[in-house]
Amino acid sequence: MSENLIVPTMAEMLAQGKQPEVLFWVGCAGSFDDRAKKITKAFVRILNRANVSFAVLGTEESCTGDPAKRAGNEFLFQMQAMMNIEVLNAYEAKKIVTACPHCFNTLKNEYPELGGHYEVVHHTEFLKSLLDSGRLTIEGGQFKGKRITFHDPCYLGRANNVYEAPRDLIQKLDVELLEMKRSKANGLCCGAGGAQMFKDAEPGNKEINVERTEDALETKPDIIAAGCPFCNTMLTDGVKNKEREGDVKVMDIAELIANAQDL
């Protein structure tokens, strides 16, 4: 049984002579990673519910080039960037929303110099704006009273100073928001950034995601909230490593909101 998700593509929109309010940049993880696909769908459910006119690039989307750039491959990055910019500019994209802080940072900060000028927002900022303008309402629902801690993704927080939007959203759920000892600008990386996701760590005495999961578990949470598909994977692995998958869940903020609304 496939669910009833309405996901128009930019090509379809163009054929109908329409321009969506926002372009949803799904990202590689959101498109292909089994865990991250759930986040993508949760976000789409919210967009559908709030009647947001959006579209995706679908098969015309390609990697932003972030992992290549952080690994040091400027060539590959700029090739990807210029191809994507060509596509985006052809559709005259103005506003882009994405659930991946890596795509967010790259599109927002590194594309302009190469000719791609868009208003780029992270999905937590976008959801916050939907709430603020009354297009979306949420109540605590099933999460009421739960203990939730939020892990700041480096590329959202330190890299771009987005700290409040995700926290505001969590607080809307009538939950207890717990701060880890290292949070916001002092947050600890999940260990995936800088292309680390795609290779083994160098020799050391611990994995970074385990160290970070320990920070999170210290707050005695029911749920560890994330705002990045890579952080999500790293922390999920960390929770497994600590054998706590039975009582602690790792969830994206879009999932929290979609679930709270039974979407």
Partner 1 sequence: MSYLSNVLFAIVLIIGFGYFYSNVKKIIRNINLGVAVNRKDNAKARWRNMAMIALGQSKMVKRPVAGILHIIVYVGFVIINIELLEIIIDGLFGTHRIFAPLGVVYDFLIGSFEVLAFLVLFAVTVFLIRRNIVKLRRFIHADLKGWPKSDANYILYFEITLMTLFLLMNATDFHLQNVPGGFSHFIKAGSFPISQFIAPVFNRMSNELVMLLNEGFWWLHIVGILIFMNYLYFSKHLHILLAFPNTYFANLNPQGQFDNLASVTAEVKLMMDPNADPFAAAPVSENEAPSKFGASDVQDLNWVQLLNAYTCTECGRCTSSCPANQTGKKLSPRKIMMDTRDRLEEVGKNIDANKGVFVPDNKSLLNDYITPEELWACTSCNACVEECPVNISPLSIIMDMRRYLVMEQSAAPMPINAMMTNIENNGAPWQYSQQDRLNWKNEI
CB of 169 to partner 1, least distance (A): 21
Binding to partner 1 (CB under 8 A) within 219-248 occurs at none
Compute how many residues bind partner 1; rule: CB under 8 A.
74
Q: By CB under 8 A, what part of segment 167-186 binds partner 1?
A: 185-186
Give the C-alpha separation, 176 to 253, whole Å: 14
Binding to partner 1 in span 68-127, by CB under 8 A: 68-76, 78-80, 82-83, 105, 108-110, 113-114
In whole angstroms, the minimum distance from the beta carbon of 88 to partner 1 comes to 14
Q: Which stretch binds partner 1 (CB under 8 A): 15-23, 66-74, 120-128, 173-181?
A: 66-74
Nearer to partner 1, 72 or 145 (CB): 72
Stretch that binds partner 1, among 124-132, 134-142, 193-201, 247-255 (CB under 8 A): 193-201
Contact status: 42 vs partner 1 (CB under 8 A): no
Say if residue 195 is exposed, middle or buried (CB neighbours under 10 Å; 0-12, 13-18, 19+): middle
Q: Is 67 in the site for partner 1 (CB under 8 A)?
A: yes
Which parts of 15-34 interact with partner 1 (CB under 8 A)?
Answer: 26, 28, 30-33
The residue among 141 and 194 lying less far from partner 1, judged by its C-beta, is 194
Judged by CB under 8 A, which of 100, 208, 216, 250 binds partner 1?
208
With contacts defined by CB under 8 A, name the span among 124-132, 138-146, 166-174, 190-198 that binds partner 1: 190-198
In the set 133, 134, 181, 198, which binds partner 1 (CB under 8 A)? 198
Instruction: Compose the 44-63 pattern: x for residues touching partner 1 by CB under 8 A, - for all others.
Output: ------------x-xx-xxx
Rg (C-alpha) for the chain, rounded Å, is 18
| 124 versus 160: smaller Cβ distance to partner 1 | 160
Contact window for partner 1 (CB under 8 A) among 90-98, 138-146, 154-162, 242-250: 154-162
Q: How far is the CB of 59 from partner 1 (least distance, A)?
A: 5
Q: Is 256 exposed, middle or buried (0-12, 13-18, 19+ CB in 10 A)?
A: buried
Phi, psi of 190 (to 5 degrees): -80, -15
Instruction: Check residue 189 for interaction with partner 1 (CB under 8 A).
Output: yes
Instruction: Answer yes or no: are the C-beta atoms of 99 and 30 closer than 8 Å.
Output: yes
